[in-house]
Chains A and B, each alone.
Chain A
Amino acid sequence: MIRLRGAAFGYGNDPVVSGVDLDVSPGDFVGILGPNGSGKTTLFRGMLGLLAPMRGTVERDVAAVGYVPQREALDPVYPLSVEEVCHLGAYGRLSGLRRVSAADRELAVRALARVRIEHRRRELFSSLSGGQRQRVLIARALMMRSPVLLLDEPTTGVDQPTQRLIHDLLAELNRDENLAVLFVSHELALLRDVVKDVVWVANGSVERGEAERMLASEKLEQLFGGFASSEGKG
């Protein structure tokens, strides 16, 4: 569905990550990990198409990629209801005077139910807790009817039970709907039992492997010396 070959992404003339070979297929469940400033978000933006590759190729054979941004990026001054935020996911199918269709309204109700927040659909998005807002944004991405879901640090700034809830939800979507789910995270310890694969982004390069192998202490030592393995235990 998404295929990167020899891709380099960066800003100006400086690549942040390069030589990226990566395939995203149906049913993938991948955590994108790496130290701060390693290029996780740069890679993520490249996969989304928000950043053009400086070298290499990026092929997407899906109409749209389901995208969940960091919820802090969204300004609470907008008096959007939960339902209205969810409807934004259908806007790619709308133009001009066309209104959100009855089918899309029904889809929104189902998407909100899927993330177990439909009982608050008439409330203001800004009045929800961090974890609830994150679930609404996942529902919005589901409205795009994409087979791929890319999430930017979905569990940052929420407590551990909520992190677990979001991880369980993503696992459900991956298992029940065969969605490819990729998310940027820096929570090594929490990811061990969640994802199938891990993409490590470090020192300008990208490496993918099974979670068990990629999160083993020996691998962390090899990638980062003592720093990352001790960070992962935290």
Chain B
Amino acid sequence: MDLSLYWELFHFAILAALLAGVVCPLMGAFLLVRRTGFYGVTLPQFAACGVACGYAVLPWWLANVGLGGLDLEAALESPHALRNYVLAWGALFTFGGLLGLVLLGARKETETGRVAAAFAIAAAVTVLLAQKAPTGREFIEQLLRGEILTVDSHEFETIAAVYAVVLVLLWLFHRDLLLVSFDREFALVLGKRVKAFEALLMILTGLTVSAGVLIVGPIVLFGLLVIPPLAARGLARSMVSFFVLSAAFGVVAAAGGLVASFALDWPLGPSLCAVAALELVPGWAFGRLRHGWST
């Protein structure tokens, strides 16, 4: 396997996957401890649904709203304009879905069911929209299968800029985000703006998902948002080590997934998830050692 050839062909995709390997697990760490891990699967599906919807309505959009004066043929040949357009649809569905889940009810006991139902509906609608989309069907199918996508410099710059913002905000506010997640009432007593931080956490989750899904695909996001933090949870001895291990496991999963994908000619998403799944073993074994094999 000539890695230099893959680097030459896919270097922006490789960098995007590694970047997602750092940022997504950090975001997923918050989802896991807030017991909202299922959002890590459902939100990328919302985003994929948005991308499919964008393609399905593209001719109508061009005729009635417009995309910089482009017609369908010109739009399809202008990857930047088209990618920005479907990225906006992905973001719209991610934030709309997130807001809908929050507004649909505060009843914690039915939350898992609600999020699971939303995932099933979004998955079904994505397939139906892809079926009906007059253009971009091949792209949507690649996206859903988790195949490595050609990422150009513009797309890499988009994901790098969005993830840089997410990383900076996480770094700046991780203490407050942790406090309002762990002990909301204590945060209120300390005078923290709890609702603002909860909203920030949702916005950061939405940004991470909507920017990532178009570039690395929903399966990569499922794998990176959920599995590395779960693997890290079993080994962590503090929140600091939890965050560090989550990001480290994410990078290893991304790198291992890329190598497996190139070497075995597997789609990237499933390869990455398979490597990430192996990371669960040390955490599980450590947990058994710590608590005994009988429990």
Q: Spell out A's residues near B (CB within 8 Å).
A: 48-50, 64-65, 67, 69, 73-75, 77-81, 83-84, 88, 91-92, 94, 96-97, 122-124, 140, 144
Which residues of the other chain, B, contact A124 by a CB distance below 8 angstroms? Answer: 237-238
- Asked whether, in the complex, the Cβ of B189 is within 8 Å of the Cβ of A91, the reply is no
- Asked whether, in the complex, the Cβ of A49 is within 8 Å of the Cβ of B189, the reply is yes
- With both beta carbons as reference points, the residue of chain A lying nearest to B191 in the complex is identified as A92
Question: In whole angstroms, what is the CA distance A49 to B191 when docked?
Answer: 10
- Asked whether, in the complex, the Cβ of B238 is within 8 Å of the Cβ of A69, the reply is no
Q: Spell out B's residues near A (CB within 8 Å).
A: 32-33, 35, 171-173, 175-176, 179, 181-183, 185-192, 233, 236-242
Which residues of the other chain, B, contact A97 by a CB distance below 8 angstroms? Answer: 171-172
- Asked whether, in the complex, the Cβ of B33 is within 8 Å of the Cβ of A78, the reply is yes
Which residues of the other chain, A, contact B192 by a CB distance below 8 angstroms? Answer: 91-92
User: A69-B185, A88-B183, A124-B237 in contact; A75/B35 too (CB < 8 A)?
Assistant: yes
Question: In whole angstroms, what is the CA distance A83 to B240 when docked?
Answer: 12
8 contacts between A and B (CB under 8 A): A69-B186, A77-B33, A79-B233, A79-B237, A79-B238, A88-B186, A122-B238, A123-B237
Question: In whole angstroms, what is the CA distance A81 to B188 when docked?
Answer: 22
User: A64-B190, A79-B239, A81-B237 in contact; A88/B182 too (CB < 8 A)?
Assistant: yes
Tell me the number of A-to-B contacts counted with CB atoms below 8 Å.
Answer: 74
- Asked whether, in the complex, the Cβ of B179 is within 8 Å of the Cβ of A50, the reply is no
Question: In whole angstroms, what is the CA distance A141 to B183 when docked?
Answer: 13
- Asked whether, in the complex, the Cβ of A79 is within 8 Å of the Cβ of B242, the reply is yes
- Asked whether, in the complex, the Cβ of A64 is within 8 Å of the Cβ of B189, the reply is yes
- Asked whether, in the complex, the Cβ of A67 is within 8 Å of the Cβ of B35, the reply is no
Interface centre among A75, A79, A80, A96 (most CB of B within 10 A): A79
Interface centre among B175, B181, B188, B236 (most CB of A within 10 A): B175
